[in-house]
Amino acid sequence: MNRTPIKHPTGGRLKTLAVLNLCLVLGIGCAEGQDAQPAQAPAQPAQAPAQPAQSPVQAAPQETAPQRPSSSSSAGTSSSSQALDINDTGRRITGGLTLSVLGFSLVPGKTTTTDVSSTLSTQDQTQNASPRIGYGLTGQIRITNHFSVDLSALYRKIGYQYTASVATTVNTVLNGVVTSTTSTTDAHQDVRARLFDFPLTVRYYSGAKRPNGPRWFAEAGGAWRWVNGIRTSTDTTDADDVNTCCTFTPVVPAHRSAIGLVAGVGLQFIDPFGIHVVPEVRYTRWIDQVFDSSNTHTFQNQLEAVISLTF
């Protein structure tokens, strides 16, 4: 009897399982490869920041980056200049001591001779006896950074010596010879007084190049003068050279007060302690004269060097 061989499916299943296993292995390998690529991709950007430091093209922005602080420094300079306008002026109100030295005498010397006749002549002589130094107090109020008002009170001594001489000539004839004899009488006057000057000016100050730096200024204004404490001593000497002393009747001034016009220029220095040193040259034109007689006048043009220390 013929037997039909029975086919076992075992071999075909094994081949199918082998193919499936191979596909699974290949699929896992592909999946691992895809997972490995994203892990390496971030590593490349990590090196990217290091490259611009080596690239000369990218190094240029790093060199130009400090330009922004320069603009801020310019802004700082402008702000410091604004602060300069405030700080370089010092305190708003200052006061202190002032010293004045006159360039001209308060009472100029003068000699006048008058021939009344051939036998009579007079001579008037005035000599200055005033010291040139004055001193006092000064104060200043700052209105703005450039304008200030300054008021000073100066004490001075004024004096002069006045001598009036009268010369008389007598002619005598003896034995046909003419002899002339001249006799002189003198009246001497010594005058002393006190002067108080009050200049009031408006000052314009320049800007300073650094805080509390030196500044020049120009000023203009007016002044008031008052004379007080007039003392007079008068003595006479006759033709026999006999001196008679003394009378003390004070002379009467032409004006007990006077006004004048003031102009000046100067500098202001401020030391680290805040002390203001202010030298200046000031001119005053006095409209009225305190003493004004035939031979004695108060000088109307006053030029002085002034130095002030204020706090």
**Percent of the chain at pLDDT exceeding 70:** 71
CA distance 86 to 99: 28
pLDDT per residue over 233-289, tens digit each?
999 999 888 999 999 999 999 999 999 999 999 999 999 888 999 999 999 999 999
The reported pLDDT for the residue numbered 12 is 52
Are the beta carbons of 300 and 89 closer than 8 angstroms? Answer: no
The reported pLDDT for the residue numbered 181 is 87
pLDDT per residue over 270-282, tens digit each?
998 889 999 999 9
CA distance 303 to 103: 5
45 alpha-carbon distance from chain centroid? 65
Q: Where are the alpha helices (DSSP H) in the chain?
A: 10-40, 43-47, 50-54, 56-64, 67-87
Domains and CATH numbers, the chain: 88-109+130-159+190-310 (2.40.160.20)
How high does pLDDT run on average in the chain? 81
pLDDT at 71 over 50: no
Q: Which one, of 185, 191, 164, lies nearest residue 110 by Cα?
A: 164
**Left (φ > 0), alpha (ψ -120 to 50) or beta: where does 129 sit?**
alpha
Q: Strand pairing partners for 277?
A: 269, 309
Q: Strand pairing partners for 223?
A: 199, 260
Stretch 157-178: mean pLDDT, rounded? 90
The reported pLDDT for the residue numbered 51 is 47
Query: Angle 137-139-141 (CA atoms, 0-180°, nearest 5)?
Result: 175
Residue scoring higher pLDDT (124 or 5): 124
Sign of the Cα pseudo-torsion (207, 212, 213, 219, in order): positive
CA distance 306 to 124: 34
CA distance 306 to 268: 12
Alpha-carbon radius of gyration of the chain = 52
CA distance 168 to 63: 103
Q: If residue 306 lies in a helix (H) or strand (E), which one and from where to where?
A: strand 301-310
CA distance 17 to 20: 5
Q: If residue 191 lies in a helix (H) or strand (E), which one and from where to where?
A: strand 177-205
The reported pLDDT for the residue numbered 44 is 47
Burial code (b: 16+ CB inside 10 Å, e: under 16) for 240-269 equals eeeeeeeeeeebebbbeebebebebebebe
Q: Strand pairing partners for 158?
A: 193
Q: Does the bond joining 246 to the residue before it have cis omega, within 30 degrees of 0?
A: yes
CA count, 13 A, side-chain hemisphere, 185: 8
